[in-house]
Amino acid sequence: MPSPNPLSRLRDAVWRPTPASLRLLALLGVIANAGIIVTGGSVRVTKSGLGCPTWPKCTGDSLVPTASGEHSTIHMAIEFGNRTLTFLVLAVGVAVFVAAVRLTPRRRDLVRLAAAQPLSVVAQAVIGGIVVLTKLHPASVAVHYLISPALLVFAVALWVRAGEGDGPARPLVGPATRRLAFALAGAAAAVLAAGTVVTGTGPHSGDADSRRFGFAIEAVTRVHSLLAWVTVVLAVALLVILFRTGAPAVLRRRATELVAVILAQGAVGYVQYFLGVPEALVVLHLLGSAVLWIATLRVLFATRERPVVAARPDTPAAARQPA
């Protein structure tokens, strides 16, 4: 019997979901929300932030890009393309939410996490409009970026929780190690926030004439670098503790992955600094920031487990494994 076409499989994953298909959709949500960070960075480094000078329309009288003597066609296309991708992220969020609602038996924790995704995308679109209307004020641009890591918290949580049971969380490490993992997550979040200040002070703020923060670029770069080194120290300390205390293999693996990502991200950061922040490396660094944040969240979630309260015949064993 021929297998159903991809559209049919997608429809079934959304309308007749299984725990495994919901988890796959949740992974797509993680990828989509990380991807929009990269495309947003591409808008900034190409100075296309005001390619569409108004919102929600691209120009004063057109929803889509039209010929304009004030804005180049390529800048308009890049900015409008990024706006269009927001609808793709929203579509993924809606699909994830519908699948969570349709899952049988329904799990309220998954529904709540899934609901955050489409709602947050709408909020991000509104903030994106504010960014344009304020002519790329660096504070609004920073908020616009930071919405994505915040949304990734829900997306990664759903991805992990869809592969776990519905029982109460049970720690896999001691309280001190858990506190260290949370401190690591806090440091990583601080690095992301400081990065927005560096970008808002430096040359890649989205448009040649847009405002910048009035800080000295060397000073904010040092702060960003210092926070990154704090993150490195905490990550390495956590990894050493996990191996010395015989923590579960999955947690040790997640921590090892995180240290590798942090070191790679740091290398890209230093190279781009010494090369004068070339556009391609800035975009790569933004991708690295998303991967680093996802890896950090996975470490945090791996410090505990949620057992299945009652085994369900419709829940495949593979779908119950921790992320």
Number of separate domains in the chain: 2
Looking at every residue in the chain, the average pLDDT score rounds to 87
31, 151 Cβ separation under 8 angstroms: no
Same domain, 218 and 135: no
pLDDT in tens, 115-155: 999 988 888 888 888 888 888 888 998 998 999 999 999 99
Same domain, 220 and 101: no
Q: Mapping DSSP to helix (H, G, I), strand (E, B) and coil, where does residue 51 land?
A: coil
Q: Is 313 domain-assigned?
A: no
pLDDT in tens, 258-307: 999 999 999 999 999 889 889 899 999 999 999 999 999 999 999 999 88
14/23 Cα distance (integer angstroms): 11
Cα 44 to Cα 143, 173, 246, 282, distances in angstroms: 14, 42, 45, 10
Indicate the residue type of 314: D
Same domain, 22 and 155: yes
Same domain, 223 and 87: no
Same domain, 89 and 149: yes
pLDDT in tens, 60-72: 777 777 766 666 7
- Which pLDDT does position 68 carry in this prediction? 65
255, 181 Cβ separation under 8 angstroms: no
Our CA angle for 116, 119, 124, nearest 5°, is 115
Same domain, 155 and 189: no
Angle between helix 175-201 and helix 138-161 axes, rounded to 10 deg: 150
Same domain, 79 and 15: yes
pLDDT in tens, 204-246: 777 777 788 888 889 999 999 999 999 999 999 999 999 999 9
Same domain, 159 and 183: no
117, 147 Cβ separation under 8 angstroms: no
Q: Is 320 domain-assigned?
A: no
Q: Is 128 domain-assigned?
A: yes
Nearest to 189 by CA among 220, 150, 237: 150
Residues 6+ apart with CB under 8 A from 193: 142, 146
Residue 120 domain boundaries = 1-165
pTM: 0.89
Instruction: Give the pLDDT band (50/70/90) at residue 4.
Output: low
Same domain, 160 and 216: no
Same domain, 160 and 174: no
249/302 Cα distance (integer angstroms): 10
Same domain, 79 and 202: no
Same domain, 194 and 146: no
Nearest to 220 by CA among 286, 281, 273, 265: 273
